[in-house]
């Protein structure tokens, strides 16, 4: 909360001297016209701050509040506007995350973060450093460098605070190798525009356990090195259909992926016996795979005055190696409630399935070792309702209510009722 109060103090300090504060897109203004001039010549700077506060009223073992935040620093260069060459774009971005994870400190036991901004380590991250080139009359795009998978494949907005409804969904269940913001890997991506409404995307992304290791991120998160220990490559393929409706926008994505790395079986050991009772190494599978769909459709309004949107995301990973093997989320967003053009109301429901094969392993392990680990074998149901209020164009405040039914996919964990606040400012 201290950071939010600081933001308000900054806002009011500007109000006395800046008449356009309510409508300008950046809190620090146009830098005396220099910012607009840079954008005109293809140079765009990014500086933003976001925070997520969550208070647990039930569930877990304590009622408490947790706070997480993120700073984003970046720059992009459009090579055509900069009068260098046609069709190119450079993008660099670093992020810094801090704070606590309510799920852990309150011991709620849920699968999905109630503060999505907490994920991937509270430290500096090299999030983007790539170049994209349009070729053959812009029908083909080639992108190469350090990239996150979710910025191109299964991409989805991050308006909600609960991770179930934020970003590329496959990363929520296959997060050991499908890396979303803010963690990037060395990669390349091709995008072929087959018509004005359709496109195919194919990517190859490095898979290395170090990228999801917190200690490595803290020590070397900003390094450009290619670390040792690469296990394979993630290869996603996606088809995109975006109908050219003059009023009602829509996006339909269908994707599959294959990870060439070996994967540990959740239940069986190297002899195909229950490894919870033998303590032997897990059976190895040659590759990991899955598929997804992501639909967004505007139902009312126009492109200028949007109204209701609905969305559906479904991801399925292989059941041999993935502990949370499936996630389904649905929801709606309404833009412009109460005649406030920039405000939004959103509601979402999600089911994250906990693999029964992994639950069998946990139960066998408990019986063999006289332990009492919780074994979830059903759905964790997450829901969120938010209202996004924009007192300034450069600032949003997004109070939300979340309810987690059967955290971790089991009735052994108490349901959690959470009150949250997501906020952000663009400087």
**Overall average pLDDT of the 81-108 stretch:** 96
Residues 119-133: what's their mean pLDDT?
93
For residue 185, how far is the Cα from the chain centroid? 15
pLDDT at 15 exceeding the cut of 80: no
Confidence of residue 305 (pLDDT cuts 50, 70, 90): confident
pLDDT score, position 122: 84
> What pLDDT is attached to residue 13?
44
Domain ranges of the chain: 2-426
Q: How far is Cα 264 from Cα 209, in angstroms, rounded to an integer? A: 13
The closest of 82, 119, 125, 77 to 101, measured between CA atoms, is 119
| Per-residue model confidence (pLDDT) at position 218 | 82
| 145-186 residue pLDDT tens | 999 999 999 999 999 999 999 999 999 999 999 999 999 999
- Whether the pLDDT of residue 17 is over 50: the answer is no
Whether the CB-CB separation of 347 and 357 falls below 8 Å is answered with no
Q: Enter the pTM of the model.
A: 0.93
- List Cβ neighbours of 160 (8 Å cut-off, separation of 6 or more): 116, 166, 331, 346, 348, 384, 386, 400
Q: What is the token pair recorded at 404?
A: 């987690």
Omega of the bond leading into 182 within 30 degrees of 0 (cis): yes
CA 161 from chain center: how many Å? 10
The whole-angstrom separation of Cα 382 and Cα 331 is: 11
**Choice between 21 and 272, residue whose per-residue pLDDT is larger:** 272
For residue 143, the model assigns a pLDDT of: 98
pLDDT of residue 246: 85
pLDDT of residue 222: 85
Residues of the chain above pLDDT 70, percent: 96
Q: Topology of domain 2-426, per CATH?
A: Porin (2.40.160)
pLDDT digits (tens, 9 = 90+) for 365-410: 999 998 999 889 999 999 999 999 999 999 999 999 999 999 999 9
Average pLDDT, the chain: 93
pLDDT: which is higher, 231 or 305: 231
Q: Is it the case that residue 2 has pLDDT exceeding 60?
A: no
């Amino acid at each position: 909360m201290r950071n939010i109060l600081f933001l308000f103090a900054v806002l009011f300090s500007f109000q006395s001297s800046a008449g356009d504060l309510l409508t300008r897109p950046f809190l620090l203004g146009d830098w005396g016209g220099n910012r607009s001039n840079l954008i005109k010549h293809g140079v765009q700077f990014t500086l933003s701050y976001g925070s997520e506060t969550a208070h647990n009223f039930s569930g877990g073992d304590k009622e408490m509040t947790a706070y997480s935040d993120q700073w984003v620093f970046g720059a992009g260069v459009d090579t055509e506007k900069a009068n260098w060459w046609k069709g190119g774009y450079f993008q660099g971005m670093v992020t810094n995350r801090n704070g606590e994870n309510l799920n852990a400190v309150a011991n709620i036991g849920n699968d999905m973060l109630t503060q999505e901004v907490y994920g991937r380590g509270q430290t500096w991250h090299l999030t983007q450093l790539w170049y994209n080139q349009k070729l053959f009359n812009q029908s083909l795009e080639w992108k190469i460098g350090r990239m996150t998978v979710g910025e191109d494949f299964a991409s989805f907005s991050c308006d909600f605070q609960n991770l179930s409804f934020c970003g590329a969904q496959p990363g929520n269940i296959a997060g050991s190798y499908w890396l979303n913001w803010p963690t990037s890997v060395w990669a390349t991506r091709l995008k072929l525009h087959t018509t004005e409404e359709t496109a195919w995307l194919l990517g190859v992304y490095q898979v290395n356990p170090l990228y999801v290791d917190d200690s490595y991120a803290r020590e070397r998160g900003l390094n450009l090195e290619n670390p040792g220990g690469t296990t394979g490559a993630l290869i996603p393929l996606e088809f995109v259909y975006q109908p050219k409706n003059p009023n009602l926008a829509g996006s339909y994505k269908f994707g599959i992926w294959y990870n060439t790395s070996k994967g540990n079986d959740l239940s069986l050991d190297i002899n195909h016996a229950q490894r919870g009772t033998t303590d032997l190494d897990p059976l190895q599978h040659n590759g990991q795979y899955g598929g997804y769909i992501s639909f967004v459709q505007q139902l009312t309004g126009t492109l200028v005055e949007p109204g209701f949107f609905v969305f559906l995301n479904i991801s399925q990973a292989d059941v041999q190696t993935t502990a949370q093997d499936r996630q389904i989320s649905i929801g709606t967003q309404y833009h412009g409630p109460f005649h406030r053009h920039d405000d939004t109301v959103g509601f979402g429901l999600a089911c994250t399935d906990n693999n029964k094969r992994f639950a069998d392993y946990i139960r066998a392990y408990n019986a063999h070792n006289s332990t009492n680990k919780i074994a979830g074998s059903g759905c964790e149901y997450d829901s969120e309702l938010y209202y996004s209020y924009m007192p300034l164009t450069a600032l949003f405040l997004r109070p939300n209510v979340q309810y987690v039914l059967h955290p971790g996919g089991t009735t052994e964990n108490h349901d959690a009722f959470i009150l949250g606040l997501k906020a952000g400012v663009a400087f």
